[in-house]
Structure 1
Amino acid sequence: MTRSPVGMRLGIAGGGVAGLALAWLLETDHDVVLLEKRDRLGGNTDTRSLQHGGRAFCVDLGVREVPDDRRSLWHRISRLTGFLPERSPVPASRTVFRDPRGTSVWSFAGKHGGAARYGPQVLPARDVLERLVEQCALLEAQNSGWNRTLGALLAERGLSGTPAAQAVCALPASVHGCTLDEALSLSARSVGPLLSELGPEDGRPAYTSLVAGGAGGLSQALAGDLRTASIRLGVALRRLVPLDRGPGLVGSDETVHPVDAVALALPAESAKHAVGALPGAERVHAALARVPYRDLLYGLHTDPFGMPADRRAWSVSNVALHAPWAETTTWLGPALGPDLFVSQLTRRRSMPRLPLMTSRFRTRLPTPAAHRAVDRLAAAQGEGHLFFAGHCATHDDSQESALASAVAVAEQLAPDSPRLRRLRETRKEATR
């Protein structure tokens, strides 16, 4: 790779939104090579196109929701890349029910709006939810408190082992692909925002926004705006090795890429294997090893598999309890028109009758140990010319946090990068 006038060679592993944003921010100053093990870019966004009922649709099998705030990094970077998506507001409605009978245990802000409705066994959960929301807001304001678990909070309220506890655990278990019991070990501060939408019974339906054309559009826009960065699809990072002038990336094709600095925008488990051979990386390796993961399989289908038996109970998000698991079916009808559904299929006892496509993901469990690992990686950022971005470097898995982690690395490596300067200007413009 030819050395740029500014002079640094940067290797990035991971072609999700964090890795792409970092390449985009730095390619004007550095020579950049990016390795991505899949044959596509976007990471946990996976936007698919399909024809249905004579119409064309874009459907997200992975990340769907993006920030609404025009001051967010997501919006500001979108504008700079020329990606100006339309947005489709949909109710942030949820129903939790017992599968296969379809008995609703609670629902919130259904398709007609309205207040939360709780089954008789779940009424005690109202108090837990309200207190959890309050405590998470306080912990967020204090920027502390990742070590307290959801199970500890339920135990304090005397609800351990009750139907109410199972209902409270259903949503985090479905989002993170863990069992209902494992959800008890998750950080309360992490799961608090998920549960807050089920909380106050004020009669006002909440709304969220989906991106017309799919959430993967930003990744495509970033990749399309790259001018000099080299992207190697289908090449995983096998390992990092020490070379005379700095680290080297060894790809799955056994090509060695000598670089001056490395940014790992990978799941922690992949990053752990990559740094295993680096001398002096023992502390980083130990931190990465403490982050647990689970597999998730999502499928798009046209039959109402995974939905409550009573259509009047349908919400946009429908969580079926089939202990010890809880899995979600998202109803895309309110956003797209026709009845299309995206279901978690990882551990279902049966499958949809009319599956159209599937996609697999690995998701991090936000345990207290995982949050401590994020803090340890932050403290080691830049040591041995090694940097971290993406969800192994953030306390939540949102696209906004992934972008923020990329900006933080870019600020260290090239604070005067033209695109970074322009990004700062858009923040000022957005606040006017």
Structure 2
Amino acid sequence: MTAAGLGAAAVLTGIAVGAKPAHAATAVSTRQRVVVIGGGIAGVATAWLLDGRHDVTLLEAAPSLGGHATSVPVDVDGHHVMVDIGAQFFGPYSHPIYNKLVTSVLQVPTVPNQLDNTVFQYGVPTPLMVSPSADRPITDLLQYLPALQAVAELMDRARDLEARRDWSTTVADLVEAMSVDETLKESFVYPYVASVNGATISQAKEFSARAALALAVRPLVNDKTEYVNARDGLQAVVSTLADECTSVTTRVNTRAVALLRSGDCYEITDSQGRVHLADQVVLALPPEPAAALVAQLPQAEPLFSAYSRFRYMPARIAIHRDPIYMPASPADWSSFNITRDGEYCEASISYARLRGDAPVYKSWVLHRREEPKQLLASMDFRHPLITPDFIQAQGQLQRRNGADGLWFAGSHVFDVDSQESALYSALTIAAELAPASANRLRLGTLPTSPATP
């Protein structure tokens, strides 16, 4: 794309488009066939942004759209609420573009959160830390002062990484440079960071420190965390986007099994045996299934190499009624409760304290000693290990974005694993393929996003 074209796209999107590959497609003015593979927020948002300008086919392997934005209905003792079993939190500072889409454009109702933390060792009644909150003034928590001071220093250092846009400093680098006691680092600081990302302590030490702490420090305003939830679950956001589309054909329970280049277009074969022709293809897939598709293309090695650098770890999240993973004393219960058990540091969210609605719990349970006794739902996920190499792989992928009509979308393509980074990836594609689409114009001038490279 020419420099003038890049400038025009930047004006239209209100975001930096980023470095373009040598053979990236120029802005598309004619109506084209676009196949979007993957129906998470990135894929659905891409389809929504291209709606009306191109003929879009959206393929999703699962029975429904949403990906990590999966919500389950819970009815407990007369309380009815949609609980997000996957992605959940967002706000104006951590997710500025996504927040604008949800609250201003789609007008999906939200509920505020009370976010406080308790960190404790499995089997030990006294917590390692309990954070202040509306009903817990700091004067009542002086016994936890060393841990609270460690968190304050950690957040200050995380702010500095954000300001310097430093992805290379690892969690181990950052924590070892802290002024706190060495024992506190091992017993509290590393477990605290690990729990934010669902990682083991060893895995957490490898993380890019900026990536590990981004979603903890970005929403902090005047020492208060500004996060909300979608009242009816994040799946409501995906459903609203899909329902608004007019030129998008959506096929669920349909996996893309083959991707071939045929002349000037692509042939995508799905699991039902249908062949879809496309002028542009968007891979809105996690790295592993995306790599399996690009491996079928000629000269695929650079892309396959980039995808192989994205490392993931397993996680299992459960929605349950019993407070099995809460601290020993109810007085120490927070909305976000972190249990350290050896290498494992898993969290349990109390919905009653977080949002004041259903008395249910959302817990990471892959490494727990006990299963919930009143299980309502569970789902397996793969969380990214966002190391400095992961960030370098993003750049490798971004430099090829749009080459030969092949595009990449998803929360892994930019920044950290969030709904904001997924939406940002969709917007970079729309900036080239449909910068003046009706839905893009509805978003208006966009706030600066932390997902900007």
| Letter paired with 1:223 | A
Q: 2:168 is matched with which residue: 128, 147, 170?
A: 147
Q: 2:80 is matched with which residue: 21, 35, 56?
A: 56
**Gap change, CA 1:287 and 1:125, over 3 Å in 2:** farther
- 2:203–2:385 CA contact under 8 A, matched in 1: no
SS of the residue aligned with 1:40?
coil
| Letter paired with 2:69 | T
**Structure 2 unaligned runs (5+)?**
1-27, 449-453
Corresponding residue of 1:38: 62
Q: Return the offset for 1:423.
A: 2.0
- Alignment deviations for residues 350-370 of structure 1 (CA, whole Å, 9 cap, x no partner): 111111111222211111111
Q: Return the offset for 1:107.
A: 2.0
SS of the residue aligned with 1:361?
strand
Corresponding residue of 2:244: 225
User: What RMSD in Å do the two structures reach over aligned CA positions?
Assistant: 2.9
Corresponding residue of 1:182: 203
**Gap change, CA 1:49 and 1:137, over 3 Å in 2:** same
Q: 2:122 is matched with which residue: 95, 99, 107?
A: 99
Corresponding residue of 1:112: 135
Structure 1: 4+ residue segments shifted above 6 A: 158-161, 197-200
| Letter paired with 1:352 | P
Corresponding residue of 1:325: 344
- 1:123–1:164 CA contact under 8 A, matched in 2: no
Question: 2:187 and 2:227 mapped to 1: Cα distance?
Answer: 26
Corresponding residue of 1:402: 422
Q: 1:13 is matched with which residue: 37, 42, 48?
A: 37
SS of the residue aligned with 2:250?
strand
- 1:239–1:251 CA contact under 8 A, matched in 2: yes
- 1:45–1:62 CA contact under 8 A, matched in 2: yes
Corresponding residue of 1:89: 112
- Alignment deviations for residues 286-309 of structure 1 (CA, whole Å, 9 cap, x no partner): 111011111221111111111101
Q: Which has the higher contact order (CA 8 A, sep 6+)?
A: 2
**Gap change, CA 1:111 and 1:297, over 3 Å in 2:** farther
Question: 1:402 and 1:250 mapped to 2: Cα distance?
Answer: 25
Q: Return the offset for 1:194.
A: 4.8
The TM-score, its normalising length taken from structure 1, stands at 0.88
Q: Return the offset for 1:317.
A: 0.5
Q: Percent identity?
A: 27
**Gap change, CA 1:312 and 1:197, over 3 Å in 2:** farther
Query: 1:393 and 2:409 equivalent?
Result: no
The TM-score, its normalising length taken from structure 2, stands at 0.84
Query: 1:292 and 2:311 equivalent?
Result: yes
Question: 2:153 and 2:50 mapped to 1: Cα distance?
Answer: 44
| Letter paired with 1:146 | W
| Letter paired with 2:123 | P
**Gap change, CA 1:42 and 1:123, over 3 Å in 2:** same
| Letter paired with 2:211 | S
| Letter paired with 1:420 | R
SS of the residue aligned with 1:248?
strand
Q: 2:294 is matched with which residue: 275, 285, 305?
A: 275
| Letter paired with 1:61 | I
**Gap change, CA 1:223 and 1:104, over 3 Å in 2:** same
**Gap change, CA 1:337 and 1:26, over 3 Å in 2:** closer
SS of the residue aligned with 1:384?
coil
Corresponding residue of 1:251: 270
Question: 2:87 and 2:195 mapped to 1: Cα distance?
Answer: 14
**Gap change, CA 1:249 and 1:407, over 3 Å in 2:** same
Question: 2:303 and 2:375 mapped to 1: Cα distance?
Answer: 42
| Letter paired with 1:14 | G
- Alignment deviations for residues 156-213 of structure 1 (CA, whole Å, 9 cap, x no partner): 348797442342222442343321111000001112335549999x9x6545322211
Question: 2:95 and 2:311 mapped to 1: Cα distance?
Answer: 33
SS of the residue aligned with 1:412?
helix
Q: 1:236 is matched with which residue: 246, 255, 274?
A: 255
Question: 1:366 and 1:293 mapped to 2: Cα distance?
Answer: 8
Query: 1:133 and 2:155 equivalent?
Result: yes
- Alignment deviations for residues 69-90 of structure 1 (CA, whole Å, 9 cap, x no partner): 6993224433676x32333222
Question: 1:252 and 1:160 mapped to 2: Cα distance?
Answer: 56
Question: 1:102 and 1:285 mapped to 2: Cα distance?
Answer: 49
Q: 2:189 is matched with which residue: 168, 173, 191?
A: 168
**Gap change, CA 1:19 and 1:159, over 3 Å in 2:** same
Q: Return the offset for 1:375.
A: 1.1
SS of the residue aligned with 1:393?
coil
- Alignment deviations for residues 114-145 of structure 1 (CA, whole Å, 9 cap, x no partner): 3395867x937835x444433432332333x2
SS of the residue aligned with 2:69?
coil
Corresponding residue of 1:360: 380
SS of the residue aligned with 2:267?
strand
Query: 1:369 and 2:389 equivalent?
Result: yes
Q: 1:315 is matched with which residue: 328, 334, 345?
A: 334
**Structure 1 unaligned runs (5+)?**
none
Corresponding residue of 2:368: 348
